[in-house]
Every structure is written in structure tokens, then in C-alpha cells.
Chains A and B, each alone.
Chain A
Amino acid sequence: MPKVFLGMSGGVDSSVSAVLLREQGYDVTGVYMKNWSKDLPGMKCPWAEDLADAKRVAVQLDLDFEVWDFEADYKQKVVDYMLDEFQKGRTPNPDVMCNEEIKFKLFYEQAMARGADFIATGHYAQTDGKNLLRAVDENKDQTYFLYRMSNKATARTIFPVGGMTKPAVKALAAEKGLDIATKKESMGVCFVGEVGMKDFLQEYLEAKPGEIRELETENVLGYHDGAIFYTIGQRHGLYLGGGLPYYVVKKDLAANIVYVSHNLNDANLWASELKLENLHLRTDLPADGQIQVRLRHRAPLIEAKITMSAYQPATVIFASSIKRPAAGQSVVFYDGEVCLGGGIIAE
């Protein structure tokens, strides 16, 4: 029986993965990766409940179950990276980093050291034994977060629910009586919901209050509590009063000024090309550079051309202007179903 270590989060996707692997005859050990356990102001970390849910499912399926503690590595490789990026005024994606550094590196390596034939997770993605492929459920495809996983790990990874749609996964969970054990969606990173990020950053980073100015007039419209908390394109949380909405269009970190504008067409909000750094190529790119890219999780694939040379950073060029994603976010490359890799948006 091939031996598989399955990352179990307590959510429905990894629980159904356990059922499927077991039915397919694998020798499955469920593993809860303990990456974070600290409560923060206004945010209760649900790790203990998640662990209990994961273990309940594993035990009910009669699987071996273990807890692997990656807290120190997660803090160092994911959280510190994330804080550092925010400090530089960028908007990092911790899920991408977690998959690269924790799930498909440390978890993978530890599993292999324990004699595993494969690892498995409840991600919506597929592999053909070599390439990383998009999930069947286009709405749930998670390859945007997985593009940095190594080819070595990809060759040894099973994504049991990658060929299913989310409704089918939920239906199977209900059929197997797992729906009461696993109620919620499993989250990439437990502590950073959209709402929680600012609270989280405030706990760790020093931030200085400063001015909010209108880009066109340089008029001071109000004050912010730290420029690093704002992302280009953001329109909420500015507290500038009623009337037409303002958008964050520029941040001057040195002067600690956040610039806003009414003008949705401001050049800062749009781009016809993006410079990338820290490329991770899974395979050779097409010679003509014609690829499809995804700019955000769940965003549609769009046609683009990538240029690379030894002297210049990789650049993705679009046929028409796109709404500019924040620096620090990822652009992920595709050729049809195949994920080719990606890179991180520079300034």
C-alpha cells in the first residue's frame, strides 16, 4: 500500500480528501500542521477547534493522526517575510509563501523522511505527475497560491479533490457523514482574514500617523494611522467623510504621506505592463512569450506577453490596460490547464 501523509486542516476539503485516499487504498496518515496558535486582539485563532475537527475525522476513518509543529518555521518564513514586505510598503501574499515554504517544503520533506510515497492536501488543483494543472472547479482553482511549489514536491503530491467541484465535495462529505464534523471552509492562513490584517500588523509593526493628501492639489484631507496599512486602489477605511469616494493612488513611505484621488482613471491605478521579480518558473515558457496570466485568486485568465532578458527584469505586457495589482502580489502564468509558474510584482 503506498504511504501518504495528508495535511488535514479540519475543513471539508481535506476531510473528503481523507475519505477518497482511503477508498483508493492508500495507507493514510493525517497530519495537522500547527503553524499558528496565538490569539490576537479581536481575533481568536481557531487552531484548537480545527485540530479537534481534523482529528475527529481521521479517527472516524481509522487513520493514524499526528500533529506536526511548524510554528517556529512559519513565524520565520511566512510571517516575518510578510511583515517585512508590508514594512516596505508592499502587499505580500502569505498563502503563496506558506505553500512554498511550509506545506510543500517542510511538510513534504518530513513526510518523505518518514518513508512516504506521496503527500496530499485538500487544495483545488491537479497534477499529471509532473505539471501543476488547474482544478476542474474553475471557481475554486487554487493554483494561484501553489505556483511556487517545487517540481520535486509536485511529482509526489496528490490533490484528491482537484478533479471535483466544491458542491460535489460537499455532497460527498454529507454522504459520508462528515458534514457535521466539518462545518466551515478551510482557510489558507488562519489569522489573516481581510478584516484581520490591519489588527495583525498593528500588533507587530511600528506605524507613524501621517497626512492623507489629494494627489492633484496636495491638499491635506485628513490623517492616517500608518501608511503601510494602505494599499493602492483601496477606497475603504480612509475616513475622509461623505461625497465622492477617494481611492489610494500613491504612498510616499519616506515622507509618510498617503495620496488619494477621486479620479478612478488616475494613471497610478492602471497598468499596461507589470515588472516582476523573484520569478518561479515551473517549466519553459513558450518561445513567443504568449501566455495567459492570473492577477488575483479567482480572477479570470487574461492573455499577455512575457519578455525576459538577462539585462532586464521580466515584464508582462497586456493588450489593454489592467487595474494595477499591488506590489508584492503574484502574477501566475498559464498555458491552458498547465501552470507555468509566476512572479512577484515589483514596484
Chain B
Amino acid sequence: MIYLDHAAATPVSTKALDAMLPYFTEDFFNPSAPYLPAKRVREAYEAAKDQIAHCIGAKGIDLVMTAGATESINLAFTAHQNKSLVLATEHTAVLAAAKTRDYDLISVDKTGLIQLEDLRQKLTDDVDFISISLANNELGTIQPLADVVEIIRQTRQERLQRGITTPLYFHTDASQALSLIDISVARLGVDLLTLNAAKCGGPKGVGALYIAHGVKLTPLTVGGGQERGLRSGTENVPGVVGFATAATESKTHLAYHRKEYQKMAQILRQATKNLSEMHSDVSIVAQNDNFVKHKQNTLIPQPIFLGNPKHQLANFIPVCFPGIDAERLIYKLEAQGILVSTGAACAANKGTKSHVLAAIGLSDAEIAGSLRISLGSTNTIEQIQQAATIIIETVRLEYARLGFASICDKKLKEQSADCEEGEPRKDGRSTGFLDTNDSESLGGNHA
């Protein structure tokens, strides 16, 4: 099996698992109990929190441990009363939390980068909360948070100048970023930051919220007053210990992994490009949903790499094969031992189209043709070489099934006369449905 969906979940690392195990059995004590063995568990728990905090340049006391990123996000949103601004491409947890009060969406460009001008315009005096992810969970696009923070700082100053005391909090969801970006809360200048153990080799159901001094939150769960009263309930000692080990591990190997993922991504991108080199001077776009109706003798369209190549998590390779039903690819690849996904796992199995891909301006047909490949610690170069070959061949077969031809097919046909498929026109252009001048919206802008 070759697993290429690390953005959905990562396996718990061996080190993290080993670190967790004792806290299920011999060191099972309630950290709040009065006897000495329990005190040692308390110490281990606090040390684990310190370790996690250290990974983002904070102190353990600044963290509230939660049952995952979704809870962290919901807790973060209790900081505000009035109106929030969130990026149109945020995870559904952020969008849903925003919708519980007044909110507005900030638009992104075609690569998924925030439109700072849109933020400036929408930052009216009633806005008291902004949530923008550090890196997007479908595109891997890394946001220029320094620019965002500078706008927020200016706004705060300017509000004070006018005697307006409405606070303005800034939260970032860094769930996808922890194992790939060197995060420092001080450098980022955020008030609230969400972390998720399950995306960096830790266990599922464990998350953290970093809370800067002076930010007041309202607990979602009340009870025994654990986590400074912000998250009652007996501490998840093994989970937090596992998170700490995984976070430290990924932080230590961050530079190495980034390099490895870049190499692997390069292999996949190159292989994917080969698919298009079969018809280098043709660009065809799926701009409407009637794509498949005019398919005869059409050449395979250019794959489109999504996201922003300059500002992208190294392990993300989101790619669109126009005209293909990516769900079919998933099942075909699954049958050949390769696991990939279309987008956010939570959206993928509801049959709804990705709001992220819609926000960057993809047509419905393009959204349907988009795959999210995300690399991780389970992958090796050999695996990726193997996967690249299988993926490209599978995509090619799907195109062939739909009646698309490639230059390669043409060569094959010249060798075997009894092939049924039609030939592409001599000038190398599509004989089919779309003129090349319809394609400007995609060709250049996404590549």
C-alpha cells in the first residue's frame, strides 16, 4: 500500500506510541490525585504540554489541551461577541464556528492566497475576530500571516486613536502546518493558534489551543476546572504525551522531511507533466459541465497544479485532471494499492463539492477532476516513483475510456491499424468543443 493522504491522517509514530503506552497501564493515575504515583503522572503531563508549547515558542501554561482541532477552533471563537472575518477557504470547522455569529468571508486569489485588500475593506469597526489558517488543508497554500498581522496591528492602533475599544483577536488554524513549517507564536503575532496531533504523527482526538496573555475565552465544557477552567475533564495523559513526542519528532526532522517531500513532489509533478507533453501545444479547459459530451477525438487536456508553488506546504500536490471524475481515480488507484483523496475527507464522503476549490474559481467540472495528494513520513522515493507511474497510467486510461486521445495513443495506432479511436487533427489542436481562447482563465494562472 502507498498512502498519499497524510493531510487526512498520519499514522502514530513508533516513538509516540511507545511514549504513550505506559500511561494506559502502569501510569494510569488521575493526574489530580494526591498520592505520589499520581504526582509523577501530573509532572509527565505538564512536561508534555511544555514540550508541545516549546515547538511553537510558547510555554505549557499558554496551551489548553482539547480533543482535536475542531474543539480548539470552537473554543477560540468564544473570544468574540460581534463579527468575525474568515478566509473563504478555511476548514469547515472554522466556517461553521464563524456562522454561529455575524461573519464575512475574505476572498482568495486563484492560488488560494488571501486578498489582503479584501481584508482591509471588510475590517470594519464591528469586527472583533479574524481567523485565517496558516496553511490550507486542500491546497497547502501558506498564507502571508505577517502581512495580515501588520494590517491587524494598524487597525488596532487606528481604532484606539479614534477612541474605539472593540478588541480585535487573531486566530490561526495551524493543524496542517506543524510538521512542515517552523512555527513561532511570537514571530507570527497571533492571539490564538490551533494545533492537531493527528496530522503530525500523534494520536487522533488530541489538539491544543495556544492562548496569548490577555485573551479571554469562555469554556465550552465545564466541570472540575482542569486546563485553567477552560476545558474541564480528566486530562488525556497518553494522548498529550503522544502528541508531545510526535510534535518534537517532526520539529526535529522538519528540514529533512521538507527536502524529501520536495524531491517526491518533483517526481510526481514531472510524471504528471509527461501526460501533457503527449500533446504539448494543446491546451483545453473544462469550463462547463458538458465536458464529456464533446469528447470524441479530443486530446488529453493539460493537468493543472493547484495552489501556489511559491507558498505551498512541501507535502501537498493538489492537481486537477480536467474532464476526469477524480472519484473514479480514487477507486481505481485504491484497487492498485494507492490511497489518495479528492479533498477534505469530511467533504469527500458527503458528495458535496469542495468550497475551497470553488473559492479559487474552479468550474464544477474542474472540481470534479481534482485530486489531493499529500505526502508524509510513510513515503519513500521508490514508492513515489512507483505511484507516479501507476497514477499517470490510470489517468491516461480514464481519459481513453472517455474518448480522449493522446499523442502516445496516436503513435500506438499507427502501429496497429485496428484501433478504433479517432486521430487528433494534424495541426495538433482539439477537434472538439473548446477554442483555445476560452482557456485563458486556467492555462497560465494556475501553473
Residues of A within 8 A of B (CB): 48-49, 51-52, 55-56, 59-60, 62, 65, 67
Instruction: Count A-B contacts at CB 8 Å.
Output: 21
Which one of B170-178, B199-207, B330-338 is at the interface?
B330-338
Q: Of B334, B350, B351, B401, which one neighbours A56 at CB under 8 angstroms?
A: B334
Residues of chain A within 8 A (CB-CB) of B351 are 48, 51, 67
* A60 CA to B350 CA, complexed, in Å: 21
CB of B40 within 8 A of chain A? no
* List of B residues within 8 angstroms of A55 by Cβ: 327-328, 331
Considering the chains assembled together, what is the distance between the CA atoms of A51 and B331 in angstroms? 13
Who on chain B is nearest to A65 by CB? B328
Tell me the minimal C-beta distance from B402 to chain A in angstroms. Answer: 10
Report the nearest B residue to A37, measured CB to CB.
B351
How far does the Cβ of B345 sit from chain A's closest Cβ, in whole Å?
A: 12
The residue of chain A having its C-beta at the shortest distance from the C-beta of B351 within the complex is A48
**B335 and A60 contacting across the interface, CB-CB below 8 Å:** yes
Residue among A51, A52, A60, A62 making CB contact with B401, cutoff 8 Å:
A62
Interface membership of chain B positions 279-309, coded 1 if the CB is closer than 8 angstroms to chain A and 0 otherwise: 0000000000000000000000000000000
Q: What is the minimal beta-carbon distance from A30 to any residue of chain B, in angstroms?
A: 11
Contact between chains at A59 and B350 (CB < 8 Å): no
Please encode chain B, from 384 to 428, with 1 for each CB lying within 8 Å of some chain A CB and 0 for all others: 000000000000000001000000000000000000000000000
Query: Is A52 a contact of B332 with CB atoms below 8 Å?
Result: no
**B25 lies within 8 A of chain A by Cβ:** no
Task: Answer whether residue B161 sits at the interface, using C-beta atoms and an 8 A cutoff.
Answer: no
Please determine whether B332 and A59 come into contact, CB atoms closer than 8 angstroms.
yes
B177 to chain A minimum Cβ distance, whole angstroms, is 29
Q: Which B-chain residue is minimally distant from A51 (CB atoms)?
A: B351
* A48 B350 Cβ-Cβ under 8 A: yes
Contact, CB under 8 Å: A59 / B349 = no
Q: Which residues of B contact A65 (CB under 8 A)?
A: 328
CA distance A55 to B348 in the complex (A): 13
B334 cross-chain contacts in A, Cβ below 8 A? 56
Chain B interface residues (CB < 8 Å from chain A): 327-328, 331-332, 334-335, 349-351, 401
- What are the residues of chain A within 8 A of B401 when measuring CB–CB? 62
For residue B332, which residues in chain A have a CB less than 8 angstroms away from its CB? 59-60
Q: Which residue of A lies closest to B331 (CB)?
A: A59
Expressed in whole angstroms, the Cα–Cα distance for A59 and B398 within the complex equals: 10
Q: A60-B335, A62-B401 are in contact. Are A52 and B349 (CB under 8 A)?
A: yes
Closest CB-CB distance, B364 to chain A, in whole Å? 14
CA distance A60 to B351 in the complex (A): 19
Q: Which of A48, A59, A60, A62 has the most CB of B within 10 A?
A: A59
Listed by A's residue number, 17 A-B pairs whose Cβ atoms lie within 8 Å are A48-B349, A48-B350, A49-B349, A52-B349, A55-B327, A55-B328, A55-B331, A56-B334, A59-B327, A59-B328, A59-B331, A59-B332, A60-B331, A60-B332, A60-B335, A65-B328, A67-B351
> When chains A and B are docked, how far (Å) is the Cα of A48 from the Cα of B331?
15
- CB proximity of B299 to chain A, nearest CB, Å: 22
Chain B residues with CB under 8 Å of A59's CB are 327-328, 331-332
Which B residues are CB-close (under 8 A) to A48? 349-351
Give me 4 other A-B pairs in contact (C-beta within 8 A), A48-B350, A52-B349, A56-B331 excluded: A55-B331, A59-B328, A59-B332, A67-B351
User: Once bound together, how far apart are the Cα atoms of A318 and B138, in whole Å?
Assistant: 66
**Smallest CB–CB gap between A96 and chain B, Å?**
28
Chain B residues with CB under 8 A of A60: 331-332, 335
CB distance from A54 to the nearest CB of B (A): 11
How far is the CB of B349 from the nearest CB of chain A, in Å?
5
Interface centre among B327, B332, B334, B351 (most CB of A within 10 A): B351
Bound CA–CA A65/B334 (angstroms): 17
Query: How far, in Å, is A170 (CB) from chain B's closest CB?
Result: 21
Task: State the CA gap A261–B327 with chains docked (Å).
Answer: 57
| A62 vs B350: C-alpha distance when bound (angstroms) | 23
Q: In the complex, what's the smallest C-beta–C-beta distance from A66 to chain B, in angstroms?
A: 10
Instruction: Tell me which residues across on chain A come within 8 A of B327, comparing CB atoms.
Output: 55, 59
A49 vs B332: C-alpha distance when bound (angstroms): 17
**Bound Cα distance A167, B334 (Å):** 27
- A319 vs chain B, min Cβ distance (A): 52
A48 and B335 alpha carbons, distance in the complex (Å): 20
Q: What are the 6 tightest A-B residue pairs by CB atom distance, in nearest-first order?
A: A59-B331, A56-B331, A59-B328, A48-B349, A48-B350, A48-B351
CA distance A52 to B348 in the complex (A): 10
The smallest beta-carbon distance between A179 and chain B, in angstroms, is: 14
Shortest Cβ distance from B401 into A: residue = A62
Task: Collect the chain A residues with CB atoms within 8 Å of residue B328's CB.
Answer: 55, 59, 65
On chain B, the residues within 8 Å of A56 by CB distance are 331, 334
Complex Cα gap A55–B368 (Å)? 14
State the Cβ distance, B139 to closest chain A Cβ, in Å: 23
Question: A49 to chain B: which residues have CB within 8 Å?
Answer: 349
Instruction: Tell me how far the C-beta of B143 lies from the nearest C-beta in chain A, rounded to whole angstroms.
Output: 31
CA distance A51 to B401 in the complex (A): 22
Q: How far is the CA of A48 from the CA of B349 in the complex (A)?
A: 6
- Name B349's closest neighbour in chain A (CB-CB): A48
The CA-CA distance from A334 to B64 in the complex, in Å, is 69
In Å, the complex CA distance between A309 and B401 comes to 58
Q: How far is the CB of B232 from chain A (nearest CB, A)?
A: 28
B331 proximity list for chain A (CB < 8 A): 55-56, 59-60
CB-defined contacts of B349 to chain A, threshold 8 Å: 48-49, 52
What separation, in Å, do the CA atoms of A60 and B331 have in the docked complex? 7
B335 contact set on A, CB distance < 8 A: 60
The chain B residue with its CB closest to the CB of A177 is B335
- Complex formed: what's the CA distance from A52 to B351 in Å? 9
Chain B residues within an 8 Å CB radius of A62: 401
